[in-house]
Amino acid sequence: MTSAAEQFASNINLASFAKAEELKKRLLFTLGALIVYRLGTFVPIPGIDPVAFSSGFQSQQGGLLGTLNIFAGGAVERMAIFALNIMPYISASIIMQLMSAVIPSLEAIKKEGEQGRRQINQYTRYLTVFLATMQGYFIAVSLMGQAGTVTNPGPYFLATTTITLVGGVMFLLWLGEQITARGVGNGVSLIIFAGIVAELPRAIAGLLDQGRTGAGIGGGAILVIAALALGLIAFVVFMERSQRRILVQYPRRQVGQRMTQGEKSHLPLKLNVSGVIPPIFASSLLLLPATAAGAVGEGSPDWLQNLTYLFAPGRPSYIALYAALIIGFTFIYTSVVFNVEDVADNLKKYGGFVQGYRPGARTAEYLDFVLTRLTAIGALYLTFVCILPEVLKASYSQSIPVYIGGTSLLIVVSVTLDTVSQIQGHLVAQQYESLIKKSKLRGGRR
């Protein structure tokens, strides 16, 4: 027998969407906020010569700047006020989650409920400001090191550029929180999603133009890339929705004079518990040498230049280390966000147990056994999706877009699934409220 929620979801159609006034307001607010974000990606930093910077960017778009430009929605190419996007906040969130698992005081704060969550969020914002300041400073120094890019280099430009970039990050963080509270979906994720999708048409147009002119890639290869992209999207959707459902049994309970029957439920374990965090964190670490070399400029030491060359995108050493970092961070982050001991203790607290295993330590061991194997599959899946475009670029052509795989594809698919799920949830709630009102009206008439 299907549940009430499933029955409601099966009856959702365009008519129910048309009646969902609250949902339409949330969608319009989300759309308006994303438009504001996109407008900000076209506002350049003061004191920059756009023509000189554009010519320098074209020679580096296949490397560090090109990678950052994808997530920033083209803001790096225009050196706009949102050039850092929301990435410093993502890095700060990852660092705080890892620190909460190893520092007892932060772990205690995290367990304080809503108040602890707010305090951790405040610490994350402070760390975001610090990381954004460091990155903004490095960008400002790098810009001054490029001849003709800055119209009036000096301490004033260094300070204003750093403050502008940090302000852009914090504004996007505030905008993302507003989308989460008053719109649909996770605001921070939607901002990254909008930046990636906004650059997709131009990437496709550039690829088609290369096929037409025969420069870099042929027409037949474009068809292969299109088929591969569609196949990867279907594969990512399947893997992101895959889960292992562990049967949990609850004992019979006496309610008054009546003995209730024991209930059964399922504990869902996703195949990819860590989401897109491992690839993001791995790519951030791999970009550190290039970021440091860019900040130092032409006077960077030989060891830093060699390190930057060794771990340049597309090189075998870069691909191997990228894969190793993704696998490592997948296991680390999964252990942080899903504590098997806490889950086992909660099941024991509410009387639930996994059939064949004693509540407590034995249940935790079994959950760890299952989760480890799921994480291994998830890590290999993330590695395959993220490494594929790098391998294709290194083997065939640098013109192959990263949209056929990698972190960008994972973000687009996961955010789309999450947003659609939330929209369906709003429609189910609206239809449920409508049925309750109708039943009350019928009862009043009687």
Tens digit of pLDDT for each residue in 97-145? 888 878 888 888 887 878 888 898 899 999 999 999 998 888 888 788 7
Task: Tell me which of 4 and 173 has the higher pLDDT.
Answer: 173
Are the beta carbons of 251 and 269 closer than 8 angstroms? no
Q: Give the phi and the psi of residue 244 in degrees, each rounded to 5.
A: -105, 120
Q: Minimal CA–CA distance to 276: which of 441, 141, 94?
A: 94
| Cα separations in angstroms, 444 against 14, 243, 432, 435 | 30, 45, 19, 14
The region of weakest confidence among 3-12, 14-23, 89-98, 388-397 is 3-12
141 burial via Cβ count (<10 Å: 0-12, 13-18, 19+): middle
Q: How many angstroms separate the CA atoms of 411 and 415, rounded?
A: 6
pLDDT of residue 357: 84
Q: In which residue are the tokens 């860019």 written?
A: 294
End-to-end CA distance of the chain: 30
Q: pLDDT value at position 58?
A: 66
**Is 39 in contact with 175 (CB distance < 8 Å)?**
no
Percent of the chain with pLDDT over 70: 81
Tell me the average pLDDT across 223-245: 86
Q: Is the model's pLDDT at 437 over the cut of 50?
A: yes
- Tokens at 144, concatenated: 């001054």
Ranked by mean pLDDT, the top range of 141-155, 192-206, 372-386 is 372-386
| Token couple for 267 | 């504990």
Average pLDDT of the chain to the nearest whole number: 80
Predicted TM-score (pTM) of this structure: 0.80
Query: Is 244 or 60 the better-scoring residue by pLDDT?
Result: 244
Partners of 412 in the beta sheet?
none
pLDDT bin (cut points 50, 70, 90) of residue 66 is low
Indicate if the pLDDT at residue 95 is higher than 80.
Answer: yes
- For the residues 228-245, what does the mean pLDDT come to? 88
Residue with tokens 């550039």: 206
User: Which tokens belong to 347?
Assistant: 């099941």
86 versus 291: the higher-pLDDT residue is 86
Confidence class for position 5, pLDDT limits 50, 70, 90: very low
How does residue 17 score in pLDDT terms, banded at 50, 70 and 90? Answer: low
With beta carbons less than 8 A apart as the criterion, state whether 287 and 358 touch.
no
Average pLDDT in the 271-290 region? 81
Q: Which residues contact 387 (CB under 8 A, 6 or more apart)?
A: 319, 322, 323, 405
Burial 403-412 (b: 16+ CB within 10 A, else e): bbbbbbbbbb
